[in-house]
Chains A and B, each alone.
Chain A
Amino acid sequence: MDLRLSATVPATAEEREAVDGVLGPPESRWDGGQRTAADAHVAFGGHAARSRRHLLIPVLHAVQERVGWISPGALDYACERLTVPPAEAYGVASFYAMFRTTPSPRTVVHVCDDVACRANGAEALCEQMSKRFGDTPEGAEAARPGSANGSSANGSSANGSSANGTGVISGVTWQRSPCLGQCDRGSAALLQRAGTDRPRIALAPADPDRIRQALTDGLQPMPEPLVPGAGAAIRSDDNKDGAGGPPAPGGSAAPAPRLLARIGTVDPASLASYRAVGGYEMLRRALALGPQGVLREVRDAKLLGRGGAAFPTAVKWEAVAGNPVRPHYVVCNADESEPGTFKDRVLMEHDPYALVEALTIMGYACGAEQGYIYIRGEYPVAEARLAHAIAEARARGFLGDAVAGGGFSFDIEIRRGAGAYIAGEETALINSLEGKRAEPRNKPPFPATHGLFGKPTAVNNVETLLSVLEILRIGGPAYARIGTENSSGTRLWCLCGHVAAPGLYEHEFGATLREVIDTAGGVRDGRPLRAVLLGGAAGAFVGPDGLDMPLTFEAARAAGVTLGSGVVLVLDDTADVPELLRRITQFFRDESCGQCVPCRVGTVRQEELFARLARGEPRGDVATELKLFDDIVSVTRDASICGLGQTAASAVASAAKLGLIPGAAES
């Protein structure tokens, strides 16, 4: 393959600097540097030249954060450095919502208007945004290249004006966004601010004044209370044996949470603080048990994955650990993007060392020397805290060549997602780690045999990994006794929507939906409950008569619903259900990767259908529409490649079953 580059304007010095910041300076003309006499006498290419492809997304992030878009010149330079064909690199850049491939204002405000924020006035916020920042996508300020817009000016905008000839436009634009994972804090926004030292800022609760302030005031860091206040209540359920840890804030009599034990009690920026409450003791215990011992504990604990698919963790780990092919990789899936989910963000922001320790243990058990944390790009605070935690752990010998002084070497790298729900699907995540479009792979083969770089790979969610720490603390059999026969342990529930005290709550499996909602104060303002969206956009609606369902995997399966990622989105009688359903269908259309026909076209047809129903203008009658919908449900569920397509219709289908679709109550 010969690279043929097509940009008419070469990369600017700024863009080159951004790329080189990730890759280091080029060595020769062969990889984008200056031509030297020696270049004529060496050959450059093959696997070695292409082996850094996995750095494409970090490079694109660097360019995006520096200049606000991926210009043809910058893309060409990245391609030269990494020996990636420009068409492929463009395919990657144009896949992720946080990258822009057209000239763009340096500041982009993403305003969440997804299901949870809708309950907190997202529409009203969007209306205000229109008034303040111009009409929807690509606002008025964006349409004025280099405008003397003082209010959006800051230190860096002077060189971001029209003067540099690269098409960079200063100013602000805003756009609607899918769930930003701040559902416990009210309406949420994410600011992308290219060319500044804080290129991403999560803002919640968000309003135009706060956004304006964040854009003008030289950016005071967002207040991140060490102990979450009432707005972000983190509470725990009653806990029978009362082991370990002080009570969580806000919890009434709450003895001891397990997953949330350290939230709000340890300093997320201090390894010493983490160790003071028993941090890194579980790694020592793991090293004492040996890899087989750890696997046995996890197996005895009957731990099922908490990311949504509820796959037995031990099965995954054992398959990787026992595979003779080397190297092995372990990956933490922190790409939490299911609308209404924020549990992993809270864990990573407040207990980052625990994740680092747990992933280290996972690497030890699976025989891996390299771990990755793939974190969604919308979580700058969690990412910064994790990065700090990893650096400190490495400095103290908890990562590196001889972890904890033992004969085991392990290190962790953080990789940042770029705005794609589908990247949370484990094979799509692996493709994204490899620097590709986050398109899911067909299974089989499974990642346990053919994962990252084609090697055996185990991928687990953040909450799953933290559960492993608890398993080691109390022992696998003891953990299995918590909860119910087939659903062991505790689970985090993301309470959001029309609920009195939104937040993250930990309960043992077996608590009923009603108990979980009551712990959070019940429906806001004492209004009657209309429905609960359980498990997120890929989950299912549960009506008021389903509230006594115990929240266990088996009960959910029996009821034909899913616990998904632990979302409990409460909807009161004021909820505009048809509009909510339309938003869910919009979400899946936006987030489908487009690879397989059932999902690519099915999500469009589904959105069109629910748009007709929301307008009260069915084609034919509602019954005809529901017949068509049945067919769409069948093909997306049965024939899609991955879980996104397979569940794209489940929430809306469950709404139809509950009679939440107007004019279709009889179905």
Chain B
Amino acid sequence: MTAVFIDTPKRLVDVEIDGVAVRVPEGATLLDACRAQGVDTPTLCYLENLTPVNVCRVCVVEVEGSRTLVPACSRKAEPGMKVRTDSERVRTSRKMVLEFLASSADLSLASADVQRWIRSYGADPSRYGDPAPDHEAGARDAARPGEHEATSGSEAETVKQPVKYDNDSYVRDYSRCILCYKCVEACGEDAQNTFAIALAGRGFDARISTEFDVGLPDSACVYCGNCIGVCPTDALMPASEYHMRQNGTWDESRQTVTTTVCPYCGVGCNLDLHVQDNTIVKVTSPLESDVGHGHLCVKGRFGFEFVQNRATEE
């Protein structure tokens, strides 16, 4: 990480990562320190443009003197901290977190990094047995806190359920949801300030939900799609992409990405246009954009169809 001083200069903090001395600006997290060192640290619920919620626990590291492992994404570096990122405890915990998630949710569309971590930490979701049959639509939404059906243990419980497709803009495939809280943060305090979705329920039955699981058109959703932008497993997906995947026509190898500026208003958000066969199939925004930090509004994210309303030639 390169330290860029834009405010008053920050003091530097000396820590030790795997025996190597590292100096980071005060306020930097252990994750910053690890990344500055080039230490590959898995993250799922962390994103540069959101407040760390440290719930996935895949980034945990061992800090000398700490009884438990600590989440690198949110723990601030303190002078003299001695951090181990590859101890047996760390490896076991990371493996288990990945194994737990892979055995309970569909991670097939998660990033290549995630697939690589699953392999390199030796996560083996098959240890828990065959997955239990998918839940019926609405069943997980009806679960009551503090109760669940008795399990025989012969099959591994999952969050699998039918896709929620209740509007033209995007679909919610909660079979892929790992409950990283990112969409809730993007919908609420960290970006859109809309609060259309929140965590509902408790324990393994916790889920992302509107009030009483009403459809998105009845909810406060404004279709900014910032939840899609931050979702690490493609549980949230633009309808355009979903259709193409369903039809088998989605092919990232044939797509190009063009960075441009949104034509709608004067804010000037950066857009990444994903183009396949000379047709825009999806719009995202680069996280590192100084304008919107990866967030967009409904127009920028979904208002691209007019580009493709070509006059049909004679």
Contacts and interface: CB of A to CB of B under 8 A. Distances in A.
A598 B58 CA distance: 9
Contacts of A281: none
A640 B54 CA distance: 10
Contacts of B304: none
A1 B194 contact: yes
Contacts of B212: 6, 72, 75, 90, 101
Contacts of B202: 94-95, 420, 437, 592-594
Contacts of B144: 94, 97, 100, 102
A639 B196 contact: no
B269 interface: no
Interface string A1-14: 11110100000000
Contact of B55 (A596, A602, A603, A635): A596
A624 to B, nearest CB: 9
A258 to B, nearest CB: 31
Contacts of A610: 153
Contact of A635 (B96, B154, B198, B211): B96
A609 interface: yes
Contact of A590 (B68, B146, B193): B146
Given A95-B145, A597-B55, A597-B58, A631 B199 contact: no
A603 B204 contact: yes
A87 B100 contact: no
A584 B201 CA distance: 21
A641 B146 contact: no
Interface string B190-209: 00011111111111111001
B200 A94 contact: yes
B104 interface: yes
B151 interface: yes
Contacts of B129: 608, 619
A589 B220 contact: no
B203 A590 contact: yes
B74 A591 contact: no
B35 to A, nearest CB: 20
B301 interface: no
Interface in B78-119: 89, 92-93, 95-97, 100-101, 103-104
Interface string A73-99: 001000000000111111100111100
Nearest to A631: B96
A605 interface: yes
A72 B209 CA distance: 14
Contact of A598 (B97, B145, B197): B97
Given A420-B202, A640-B57, A608 B97 contact: no
B220 A597 contact: no
Interface in A104-139: 137
A289 interface: no
Contacts of B147: 97, 137, 175-176, 590
Interface in A546-602: 586, 589-598, 600-602
A611 interface: yes
Interface residues of A, number: 68
A604 B104 contact: yes
Contacts of A1: 193-195
B230 interface: no
Given A607-B151, A610-B153, A91 B198 contact: yes
A316 B42 CA distance: 35
B57 A87 contact: no
Given A85-B198, A94-B200, A94-B202, A609 B54 contact: no
Contact of B200 (A91, A619, A638): A91
A378 to B, nearest CB: 12
B60 interface: yes
Given A594-B179, A609-B153, A631 B92 contact: yes
B153 A615 contact: yes
Interface string B236-264: 00000000000000000000000000000
Interface string B138-161: 000010111110111110110000
Nearest to A110: B146
Contacts of B146: 97, 178, 419-420, 590-591
A638 B97 CA distance: 11
A88 B153 contact: no
A89 B196 CA distance: 11
Contacts of A185: none
Contacts of B96: 598, 602, 631-632, 634-635, 639
A420 B206 CA distance: 14
B68 A86 contact: no
A100 B147 CA distance: 12
A611 B151 contact: yes
B219 A601 contact: no
Contacts of A638: 60, 68-69, 89, 92-93
A4 B193 CA distance: 12
Interface string A623-637: 000001001101101
Nearest to B220: A4
Nearest to B98: A597
Nearest to B68: A638
B200 A85 contact: no
A442 interface: yes
Given A4-B219, A592-B204, A594-B202, A419 B209 contact: no
Contacts of B37: none
Given A597-B178, A635-B93, A591 B203 contact: yes
B68 A637 contact: yes
A6 B213 CA distance: 10
Given A437-B202, A638-B69, 13 more contacts: A1-B194, A85-B188, A87-B209, A87-B220, A90-B209, A591-B146, A592-B202, A594-B179, A598-B97, A600-B179, A601-B101, A611-B150, A631-B96
15 contacts: A6-B219, A86-B211, A90-B210, A437-B202, A595-B206, A601-B103, A605-B128, A607-B153, A608-B153, A610-B153, A612-B153, A617-B153, A638-B69, A639-B69, A640-B57
The 3 tightest CB contacts between A and B, nearest first, are A594-B206, A611-B153, A85-B195
Interface of B: 54-58, 60, 68-69, 71, 74-75, 89, 92-93, 95-97, 100-101, 103-104, 127-129, 142, 144-148, 150-154, 156-157, 178-179, 188, 193-206, 209-212, 214, 218-220
